[in-house]
Amino acid sequence: MSEEQDERPSQISATALEAFLSDAPWKAKSFLAAGATTIAGLGAWLNDMMSPVLARSGASYLGGFLIGWAFRRTLKIAALIAGSLLALITLLKTTGWIHLDWSLIEADVSRSLAWIQGKAEGFREVLTGYLPSAGAGGAGVYFGFRKK
C-alpha cells in the first residue's frame, strides 16, 4: 500500500512535465534547422572560412524561438489562472461573501498595466541588445509563438 503512495507523486510530476513539454520547441523543423546553421556557422568561423554572421543569425533565431514559445506557454497559464480567479470572485460576489469597490480595483489594474508596460519595454531593449540579429530574432519569436 505504501509503495503505491510513494509512486503516485513521481507519476504525477512526470505526467505534468510530459504535458508541459508535449510540444517542445526542439521538435520544430525550423528550430532544428537554425541549430544546425548555428553549429555549421560556428565551425566555419573557428576554421577561419567565414565570418560569424551565420552563427549569430542562427543563435538569434533560436533565442527568439525559445522566447516566443515560452511567451505562448505563459499566456496560456496566465489565462487559465485569470479565468479561475474571475470565476471564484464572481461566485463569492453572488453569494455575498465579499464586497468589491470597483473604482479602487480599476485604479490598481491601470497602475499595474502601466508598470507591466514599462517592464516589457525594458525587456525588449535588453533582448534587442543581446540578440545580434534582430530580424532573425523577430522571426524566431513569431514562429516560436505559433508553434503548436
Q: What pLDDT sits at residue 87?
A: 93
Domain assignment present for 81: yes
Domain assignment present for 15: no
48: alpha, beta or left? (left if phi > 0; alpha if psi -120 to 50) = left
Per the structure, the complete domain to which residue 112 belongs is given by: 27-146
63 touches 137 (CB < 8 A): yes
Whether the predicted pLDDT of 4 surpasses 60 = no
Domain assignment present for 2: no
By residue count, the chain amounts to 148
Who's near 70: CB < 8 A, 6+ residues apart?
144
**What is the C-alpha separation between 83 and 105, in angstroms, rounded?**
17
pLDDT in tens, 72-123: 888 989 999 999 998 998 898 889 888 888 889 899 989 999 999 999 888 8
Q: Please tell me what DSSP assigns to residue 49.
A: S
pLDDT in tens, 8-67: 555 655 665 666 666 777 788 888 888 888 888 888 888 878 778 888 888 888 888 888
Q: Taking Cα atoms as reference points, which of 141, 139, 121, 133 lies closest to residue 65?
A: 141
Whether the predicted pLDDT of 2 surpasses 60 = no
Domain assignment present for 1: no
Domain assignment present for 123: yes
Q: What pLDDT sits at residue 80?
A: 92
Residues of 56-65 as b/e, b for ≥16 C-beta within 10 angstroms? bbbbbbbbbb
Domain assignment present for 126: yes
56 touches 40 (CB < 8 A): no
111 touches 31 (CB < 8 A): no
Whole-structure pTM value: 0.64
**What is the C-alpha separation between 58 and 71, in angstroms, rounded?**
20
Q: What pLDDT sits at residue 117?
A: 93
Domain assignment present for 3: no
Per the structure, the count of domains in the chain is 1
Domain assignment present for 128: yes
